Amino acid sequence: MNLLALLLAPSLAFSQTVLGPARFTVISPELIRLEYQKDGHFIDDKSLFAVDREVRYDGYREDLSTKRLILDTGRIRLIYVPDGKPFSPDNLRAIISGTESEWKPGAWSKRDLGGARNLDGTKGPAPMEQGLLSRDGWHLIDDSQTPLLHKDWVELRPENAGLDWYLFGYGEDYKAALKALTLIGGRVPMPRRYALGSWYSRWWPHSALEYQRIVGEYKEHDFPLDILVMDMDWHKKDDWTGYSWNKQLFPDPEGFLKWTHDQGLFATLNDHLEGSVHPFEDHYAEFMKDMDRDPDKKEVLPWDAGNRWQMQELFADVYAPVEKAGVDFWWLDYWPDDEKKLLNRLSWVNELYFRHSQKDGLRGMIFSRWDTWGNHRQPINFSGDTFILWSTLKFQVPFTANAGNVGAFFWAHDIGGYQGQRNGELLARWTQFGAFSAALRLHSMNKPWLDKRPWSYPKDIEDSMRVAFHLRSELFPYTYSSVHQSNADSLPLLRPLYLEYPSDERAYKNPQEYLYGDAFLVAPIVSPGLGKRHIAAQKVWLPDGLWYDWFSGRKFTGPLEKKFSADISSFPVFARGGLPIPMQPYTPRMTTAALPTLIVRAYPGEEGKTGTFFLYEDDGVSLAYSTGAFNYTRLEYLKEKGQVTVSITPSLMTFAGQLSRRDYVIELPGLGRAAKIEVDGKLVEGEYVPALNGYRVAVPQRGIQERAVVRVWTPKL
């Protein structure tokens, strides 16, 4: 048999075709794995990117009748002419349905829509890595050099490893592209709920007593708080690294952390890796003995994340005692200084520490920088040490939305910037952006003038920040439900408009706005304002449909493009008409407070069109959600023939800590005066609220799984 005949003798497995040294695996209609291994020994181990080797799609057509291979998935038509040579433009190409664009090896996407990167030191726009989404309708991930996971531990690929590519072809179906990414790269996990709240963070030698005083100040000044961050000074120092408590600042770490938890708060410690364990550390002797080394020699082992033995003993001897005191998770303030040490690369470090955090049934939780493909499995991300500049904030808005193009859905930025000069107006505007992002985390470097506590600024700045913090708290049920969409549907929390409107050219023209889940369009103010009220403007494009200014209640009908002005206490936030929004009464512990009263707000929608949103609830911290321990509550809105109906239909699913009974409050802005109001078919008196130009209707308490229906008749409809 000649070479060509040998190559054309296919070896077929489920959704997989082997032609000599080439192997093609169809993972989904939008994704094909392309391998070329000269020796024919293909790699089936997971990589740090590709962790699901079982997923397959068999609804494609295959043709080998013309001495070439044609695979047609409906989205990708791949043509391969086996010639005994590695993949090249001469033997491989693909036509992408929907755009009719063509991909060949070596091609570079010219209309890429952006990805993610580390923002350390940025002062404004910075070059971005390519993302998955492109107006060309395709993207290639080259996984050929990515370290492997053999028996769940990292190792380098064989020296003779060939090509290992993932060709995504999706046309304008960007959502399908993100779904394909998580099919092969693993689902986006649910973060621990408290990570999505309010963080107090500052690089400053705060003592335990000072942290307690700061918590009291949050209460006194009426600001919510969920997480305390202990930066560099929590530990004894040897340059940047340390794993033993600084007893001058924290004489009783266990007592302080117990007090923190008693306040309903959580604690994280800053950890600068790579410095290893030094002789001055409290648990140095145990660590060295378990590594079969003599601690009396005062040896310092080089930090090696690829050494299974060392990392096991490090977690057991050094981390565990600190965690036992009550530390909830670690802030990995790390960026490898030698990229040649592939097993110390950040993608593996994030994976390793995330795994370590999944003990006792807890969800994984770290706070770390983004590295590369696959890091979407280890939320939540730290963007780095940025400068306090308007240009930085302006860049951070599109950066955060576009970062979802690589699966980087959750960012806890340094609100207000990390380094530079104090600027209250900029901090207030940055806080407004933070209120509609994954976390509201104040942070700054160790300069006395960079205190970010809102009450250390003039009253108008403090008041503005309080509005944003309170809004974050009130909308938290909606935010957490939208975060669940990231896990269930591979949808970012912050979504560029082209994700929802890919065929509308206007969706690509204004990067300063984004969709926050299904219900909100947000366009943060990113420039200084005028006068005592700091009035500034932002250009906004509103897509088709009805939109309502959250602060004024004004109605706008899209498509519409206009500049919106706002003083320091407001900014352009628009709620989608006809879509129920789950809320809660303001609470200072937004992420952990029970939800005995669910507020459902719905602005007037289009006639005859049902709007549906699912409130998602679970225990917030465990992995039980992944095996069905959660609850959906279906919220529906319909405006038809002068009648508005809001229905609440809980599911029968349960989770640990679920309430047994609940009150509901239905808010219906923009209706004017009502002629009649019913709850479950019985006439009631609603409360007309002038500020809403509509009604607030109380629904009597009932079992958590009982349905509720509110109907309002109004002549203005």
Mean pLDDT of 604-619: 97
In this structure, the number of other CB atoms found within 10 A of the CB of residue 479 comes to: 26
Q: How large is the angle between the packed helices 424-435 and 390-403, nearest 10 degrees?
A: 10
Alpha helices in 3-71 (DSSP H): 3-7
Q: Which two tokens stand for residue 605?
A: 């929608």
pLDDT confidence bin for 15, thresholds 50/70/90: confident
**What pLDDT is recorded for position 100?**
76
Q: Read off φ and ψ for residue 558, nearest 5 degrees.
A: -90, 160
Domains of the chain by range and CATH? 3-185 (2.60.40), 193-494 (3.20.20.80), 594-713 (2.60.40.1180)
State residue 715's pLDDT score: 75
Cross-strand bridge partners of residue 520: 516, 575
Residue pair 273/332 in contact by the 8 Å Cβ criterion: yes
The pLDDT of residue 334: 87
Q: Give the pLDDT band (50/70/90) at residue 339.
A: low
Termini Cα distance of the chain: 79
Contact indicator for 545, 562 with CB cutoff of 8 Å: no
Looking at residue 415, the DSSP 8-state letter turns out to be B
Q: Is the pTM value of this prediction over 0.85?
A: yes
Specify the pLDDT at position 340.
58
Q: What is residue 118's DSSP assignment?
A: -
CA distance 72 to 50: 22
Extract the tokens encoding 527.
């420039």
The stretch 17-35 carries a mean pLDDT of 96
- CA separation (Å) from 464 to 307, 575, 611? 50, 20, 32
Min mean pLDDT across 5-14, 68-77, 614-623, 690-699 is at 5-14
Q: Coil, strand, or helix at residue 627? A: helix
Half-sphere exposure of residue 432, counting CA atoms within 13 Å on the CB side? 28
SS in 3 state form for 167-229?
A: EEECCCCHHHHHHHHHHHHCCCCCCCHHHHCEEECCCCCCCHHHHHHHHHHHHHCCCCCCEEE
- 487: enclosing H helix or E strand: helix 476-489
**What number of H helices and E strands is found in the chain?**
13, 37
- How do residues 552-571 score in pLDDT, each as one tens digit? 999 999 999 999 999 999 99
3-state class (DSSP) for residue 69: strand
Place of tokens 């070439």: 68
- Quote the tokens at residue 717: 């409809």
pLDDT at 1 over 70: no
H helices within 1-144, ranges in order? 3-7
pLDDT digits (tens, 9 = 90+) for 194-241: 999 999 999 999 999 999 999 999 999 999 999 999 999 999 986 788
| Paired tokens of 537 | 């403007």
Interatomic CA distance for residues 52 and 304, integer angstroms: 26
Band of pLDDT at residue 3, cut at 50, 70 and 90: very low
